[in-house]
């Protein structure tokens, strides 16, 4: 039985399709990174799992329980850091946790949970006075109550400094070592690559990739940038370069002077360079760099990018 299973899941808001026939299976014990640019449908997918929104078509289930029919029972077994939430301004951090403890009939120690997320000293202050990062930590502590079998974290590192983001990743690993399945979304690849067993990339409501980071890298042809310095990189020249066989992308790094050309493995860099000169530009220097994961992500999520 999968931790999460989505079958043909679609959600339409009027004429806008937020999620489009999504199929996804997340086995137990996995850390799954749900990637995609803002507006790709990540939060809508999570909101269907949490029964905040009703799907237009398809089904979602968690541990075999239907998200629409058995939401209450399944939420007993999960911990959630939702998107677009707010804390109760007039309640203290401790009171938030007491509410969750009572709701889940759990008996964790609130102080210990607050220590774990690093806001123990603010336990008895009203959450209305918390910074965005502290509210995020409090909500994470709430998600950890009752040792959930599945953690669903929607953009957990929003509002956190790099140190806070690292602490969150540590907590994710600790929970996973305990056997917890982790499903977390982000629009930043760097947050995901360090901890995830598997990554799914969502674009315009569709899953465009579902693989390990290594698998993703292998699936993108080329994965190399040819960085060319020189003069005369006019728009005409750039469109000529785009048309060269083996060129996947052209990115102007400094207008008219430095361009980065994504080339496939089969392409001959020398041939590309000579074609640039033929087109009327002057090349003074060039270098190659391996495509970073950020480029890879961009390739998946921008229109006209690589198709795996």
Partner 1 sequence: MSWQAIAKKDIKDSVRSKGLWVLIGAFLFFILLLSWAASPGAASDPETVLASVGFSYFFGILFFVPLAGLFISIKSIARERESGTINLLLSLPHSRLDMVLGKFVGRSIVMSIAIFATFLPANLYLLTQVGFDGDALFVMFALLLAIVLFGLMFVGIGVGFSALVSSETKATAAGVGLFFFLYLWIFIVELLGISTPTFVDRFWLFAVFSDIVLTLVGLWDGGIGNPSVVWGASELASFNIEEGVASPAFYMQDWFVFPILAFWILTPLAIGYLRFNQADL
Tell me: does residue 4 bind partner 1 (CB under 8 A). Answer: no
Tell me: does residue 82 bind partner 1 (CB under 8 A). Answer: yes
Q: How far is the CB of 88 from partner 1 (least distance, A)?
A: 6
Q: Which is nearer to partner 1, 150 or 250 (CB)?
A: 150
Q: How far is the CB of 143 from partner 1 (least distance, A)?
A: 8
Question: Out of 57, 85, 109, 179, which residue is the one contacting partner 1 (CB under 8 A)?
Answer: 85
Contact 137, 119 (CB under 8 A): yes
Tell me which residues in 40-69 interact with partner 1 (CB under 8 A): 47, 50-54
Q: How far is the CB of 17 from partner 1 (least distance, A)?
A: 15
Cβ neighbours of 233 (radius 10 Å): 25
Question: Out of 42, 94, 104, 203, which residue is the one contacting partner 1 (CB under 8 A)?
Answer: 104
Q: How far is the CB of 148 from partner 1 (least distance, A)?
A: 11
| The pair of three-digit structure tokens given for residue 115, joined into one six-digit string | 């220590």
Q: Which is nearer to partner 1, 104 or 198 (CB)?
A: 104
Q: How far is the CB of 245 from partner 1 (least distance, A)?
A: 48
Q: How far is the CB of 46 from partner 1 (least distance, A)?
A: 10
| The pair of three-digit structure tokens given for residue 31, joined into one six-digit string | 């850390």
Task: Using DSSP bridges, classify how beta strands 198-203 and 31-35 pair: parallel, antiparallel or unpaired.
Answer: parallel
Q: Which is nearer to partner 1, 184 or 233 (CB)?
A: 184
Three-state SS for the chain is CCCEEEEEEEEEECCEEEEEEEEEEECCCCEEEEECCCCCCHHHHHHHHCCCCCCCEEEEEECCEECCCCHHHHHCCEEEECCCCCCCCCCEHHHHHHHHHHHHCCCCCHHHHHHHHCCHHHCCCEHHHCCHHHHHHHHHHHHHCCCCCEEEEECCCCCCCHHHHHHHHHHHHHHHHCCCEEEEEECCHHHHHCCCCEEEEEECCEEEEEECHHHHHHHCCCCEEEEEEEECCCHHHHHHHHCCCCEEEEEEEECCCEEEEEECCCCCHHHHHHHHHHCCCEEEEEEEEECCHHHHHHHHHCCCCCCC
| The pair of three-digit structure tokens given for residue 257, joined into one six-digit string | 């002077």
Tell me: does residue 72 bind partner 1 (CB under 8 A). Answer: yes
Query: What is the per-residue binding string for partner 1 in 8-47, x denoting contact by CB under 8 A?
Result: -----x---------------------------------x
Tell me which residues in 180-239 interact with partner 1 (CB under 8 A): none
Tell me: does residue 246 bind partner 1 (CB under 8 A). Answer: no
The residue with tokens 């004429």 is: 15
Tell me: does residue 73 bind partner 1 (CB under 8 A). Answer: yes
Only one of the segments 75-83, 201-209, 252-260, 275-283 lies at the binding site for partner 1 (rule: CB under 8 A); that segment is: 75-83
Q: How far is the CB of 22 from partner 1 (least distance, A)?
A: 17
Cβ neighbours of 272 (radius 10 Å): 19
Only one of the segments 86-94, 169-177, 217-225, 288-296 lies at the binding site for partner 1 (rule: CB under 8 A); that segment is: 86-94
Q: Which is nearer to partner 1, 51 or 275 (CB)?
A: 51
Tell me: does residue 147 bind partner 1 (CB under 8 A). Answer: no
By CB under 8 A, name the binding residues for partner 1.
Answer: 13, 47, 50-54, 71-73, 75-76, 78, 80, 82-88, 90-91, 95-96, 99-100, 102-104, 139, 142-143
């Amino acid at each position: 039985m999968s931790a999460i299973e989505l079958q043909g899941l679609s959600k339409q808001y009027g004429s806008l399709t937020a999620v489009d026939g999504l199929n996804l299976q997340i086995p137990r014990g996995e850390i799954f990174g749900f990637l995609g640019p803002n507006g790709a449908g990540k939060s809508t997918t999570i909101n269907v799992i949490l029964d905040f929104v009703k799907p237009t078509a398809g089904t979602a289930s968690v541990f075999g329980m239907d998200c629409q029919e058995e939401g209450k029972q399944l939420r007993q077994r999960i911990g959630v850091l939702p998107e677009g939430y707010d804390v109760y301004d007039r309640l203290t951090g401790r009171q938030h946790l007491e509410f969750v403890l009572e709701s889940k009939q759990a008996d964790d120690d609130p102080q210990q949970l607050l220590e774990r997320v690093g806001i123990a000293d603010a336990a008895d202050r009203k959450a209305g006075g918390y910074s965005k990062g502290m509210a995020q930590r409090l909500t994470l502590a709430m998600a950890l109550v009752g040792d959930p079998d599945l953690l669903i974290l929607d953009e957990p590192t929003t509002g956190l400094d790099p140190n806070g983001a690292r602490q969150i990743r540590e907590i994710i690993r600790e929970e996973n070592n305990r056997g917890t399945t982790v499903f977390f979304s982000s629009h930043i690849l760097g947050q995901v690559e360090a901890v995830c067993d598997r990554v799914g990339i969502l674009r315009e409501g569709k899953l465009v990739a579902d693989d390990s980071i290594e698998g993703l890298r292998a699936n993108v042809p080329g994965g190399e940038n040819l960085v060319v310095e020189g003069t005369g990189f006019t728009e005409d020249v750039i469109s000529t370069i785009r048309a060269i066989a083996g060129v996947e992308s052209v990115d102007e790094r400094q207008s008219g002077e430095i361009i980065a050309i994504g080339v496939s493995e089969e392409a001959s860099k020398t041939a590309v360079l000579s074609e640039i000169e033929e087109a009327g530009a002057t090349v003074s220097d060039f270098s190659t760099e391996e495509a970073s994961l950020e480029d890879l992500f961009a390739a998946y999520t921008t229109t006209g990018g690589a198709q795996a």
